[in-house]
Amino acid sequence: MRVIHKAALVFMLRDIYSKMPITNAVILCNGKQNPYTRKKEGYYVFSNLYPMEYEISISAKGYTDLNFNVTLRENETQVLHYDMPYSVDNESLTHLKRFEILVSHKKERLKNKEIKLVLKNEAKFMKVIEPAEAGTDELKLNLDMTPSLIGQNYIYEHKKQENEFSIWGYDNEKKVYTLKNPLESEIQPGGKIYPFWNLKTDSLGRITMPAITQFMTENEVKFQVIIPEEELSAKVSLNLAEASGADKVFYLNARLRKKSEKSK
């Protein structure tokens, strides 16, 4: 008789903005809440799973749901990291200055859509100071260890070329930042850095985020809202000095269009 060796799934869930662990999530595997061990660092450990494909659903109060499939092999332990985006009812937003963006295309709200939100205000305090070759997972910046930069996604723009990277840690000996994934192409000093977030619209087509002071240093805050696989995008902006935000909520409408539609 063939013995089936069981597998394990480990989830690490964090707040997409604060990077703090999320400890109140409900995780379903194929619609069932399998026994798991939850740790205060934000880890959820599912042991003794059969090797097969699982449909995963993750929900937590104040965050948009995550839904995806995972295939486990015999004796395999998969560790998956996810930064969960806010929903508009997130309690931590109550006392914060924040943005709420309604996302639409051809007058229809784009509901439950994966969204790439780019802050088009350059992070001028961040500079690449040494070349980085394609394939490396290290990047030398002008800043020593700065915890608030870790876990954040960035676009590096240099001579009309873009390169994406995510800072994952810091090597104190080498004085370099370590990246989540190796660079796809080389990076040269002299470019501009823009932070971005992978979000998801809610059932009403909205995304929300707090005002992040380290990146939003100008009166005019500029965003680009993108659905890459559908080649849809829109640019929206807001002058905070002129905006009315009595409740600390600034509302924006992102009407996405394709490049072909923009040229008409």
Give the chain's domain count: 3
Per-residue pLDDT of the chain (264 residues; tens, 9 = 90+): 455 568 899 999 999 988 889 999 999 999 888 888 887 788 999 988 889 999 999 999 999 999 999 999 988 999 999 999 999 888 888 888 899 999 999 999 999 999 999 999 999 999 999 999 999 999 999 999 999 899 999 999 999 899 999 999 999 999 999 999 999 999 999 999 999 999 999 999 999 999 998 999 998 999 999 999 899 999 999 998 777 655 688 999 999 999 766 555
Q: Is residue 59 part of a domain?
A: yes
Question: For residues 235 and 224, is the Cβ–Cβ distance under 8 A?
Answer: yes
Taking residue 6's Cβ as centre, other Cβ atoms within 10 Å add up to 13
Q: How far apart are CA 183 and CA 20, in angstroms?
A: 26
Q: What is the pLDDT of residue 178?
A: 97
Asked if 101 and 151 sit in the same domain, the reply is no
| Maximum distance among all Cα pairs of the chain, rounded to whole angstroms | 74
Residue 29 belongs to some domain of the structure: yes
How far, in Å, CA of 256 to CA of 261, rounded? 10
User: Given the DSSP bridges, would you call strands 192-200 and 114-119 parallel, antiparallel or unpaired?
Assistant: antiparallel
Instruction: Give the domain range for residue 180.
Output: 138-190
Which pLDDT value is given to residue 89?
Answer: 87
72 vs 205: CA distance, rounded Å: 33
Q: Does residue 150 share a domain with residue 37?
A: no
